[in-house]
Structure 1
Amino acid sequence: MNNILDIANLAGVSKSTVSRYLNGGSVSDKTRQKIDKIVKETGFKPNQFAQSLKAKRTNMIGVIVPRLNSYASNETLLGIETTLRSQNYQTLIANTDLSIDLELNAIKTFHTSKVDGIILLATTLTEEHIEHIESLDKPFLLIGQQDAHIHSIIQNDYAAGIKIGKYFKNLKYQNIAYLGVPETDIAVGQKRKQGVIKGFGQTIPLYETTFKLQDATEAAKQLVEKYDALICATDNIALGVLKAAQQQKVRVPEQLSITGFGGYETTSIVTPMITTIKFPYFETGELAAKSILDLIDEKEVPLLQEMSFELNEKESVDKKAVQA
């Protein structure tokens, strides 16, 4: 028993919580008592040299983003950078183009560099990710995915899915399908879909595509004339469906209703404007920046923080479906 991670795993808390405990930072009485007991039982002694190194700061935060051509990523990144800049911190950005290998390499690179903390906008969370994160000696924060022992900020995807499912149920739609993304993405690929099914109250046909508009357009070509409504896992997919419908002369919303998730600005530019769940991406970035700075200062931060959402009703859903 010779490192902080061992103590954290035994106590069921994060490494940063154990670090705060060791440095006299803010920790709840219940947590302090739990760690006290484990430290005494294991005879754990912190490495004083490592602690002294950790006290040195560079005022730089590493941020890993899955892609730069994404409204959600850009808005979140803007919230992070704006907040960090206001606190005299510099944001270092690594773009991974949705590559898990590049993501893992970015974590390693930031780990060995002089950043004070790391934020990962995650689309997938593998065992390798967790192993890399748990080996870090600096604060780490996840956005978009969650793990029981890693500080995380997520959108309330399941509840948002329920909201959309109930929306169509109340409009009495029957011939409806869901166009989502692979389940390797827990938040978007699983939770949103599960929420929609729960809210709608019955199983509906499920289809998959990617996050790319072009792929969504291609996938939708076989669906736009088959269903009365398509619930899309993202606004980008919804835009792809709208494009496919227009190419095949399918009228929206008279013949096909479409909804998405995200609240992208582009959903208000196209015709018809798309009904969507709006997530607060900029505010998510602000919260992430404040949270990583609190972790650096060894302050108490909830392991899981969940954002709110709202349903933006626009023009892409035919409400005349409410008929006896």
Structure 2
Amino acid sequence: VYRTAEEMLANEQLDAIVASQPFTRHGMLLPELYKAKVPVFTEKPLAGSVEVGERILMALRESDVWHMVGYNKSSDPATMYAKAEIDALKESGELGKMRYIRILMPAGDWVANGFIGLIGADDPPPQLEWDPPASDMDEETYKQYVSFVNYYIHQVNLMRHLLGEPYKATYAEKSGVLFAGESDSGIACVIEMSPYHTTIDWQESALVAFERGWVKIELPAPLAVNRPGRVEIYKDPGGGVTPTLTVPNLPWVHAMRQQAINFIRAVKGEIKPLCDAQEALEDLKVARQYIKLRTGV
């Protein structure tokens, strides 16, 4: 057991690094880890501000390694299945053009008994250094930004993942319930943020609409174990063809485990990382657009 990352890096030959740390420390932590010249995994988001994210990207380019950012939603077996189906439908044109994506994210019981075996301690937290706050926001606006990226950056990233292309925020409803955007090719997209709450359930979903059908994903609570999401695929091609609703059976693997598998596969060169640091920086920029639309700052 090493007391510091520097001590570990000086004494070990590593294949990769997993660094689950508070994201508002990534700017001071990651450039040092990149010097090990091995792939790095961190949890989302990339950083606490666009400025710090850009400095992280600069250090990453100089190190010539890659960094996977842990958006576990995209690793859920349901999302992986749906993404493959969505890409195939876009390629074939079977259901016409993609027109709209709606992500619903009500706050709820995200733990789902995931802490049932947790043993707590009364140890005081260590005194840590933190990255500087964003220079283009006042204190209150920055707090709103950090709160947003801590909670809803998952959905900001999932939107781009399902679109398969960049997008921008175009509207922010003032109460914080509705986020609207538009992709580079003109696809409308909406994130509904806790329009209601649940106490013992988790009701996150995504609807990807084409002209003649849709793909729907329902995701389980983030800490649910050995449970994938659910996918529904509705096709109504017209021309007298009977519409169909398909619900595939998915493997009993949860998103966090599949995310770890995907990182290891990427380290072995079998696949590309599902989300690299460059894409994660784009998430921070979209979040900044949203906060500016909502607050005017």
| TM superposition score category, shorter chain reference | 0.3 to 0.5
Higher strand share: 2
Q: Of Structure 1 and Structure 2, which has the larger fraction of its residues in helix? A: 1
TM-score (normalised: structure 1): 0.30
Point out the structure with max Rg over C-alpha.
Answer: 1
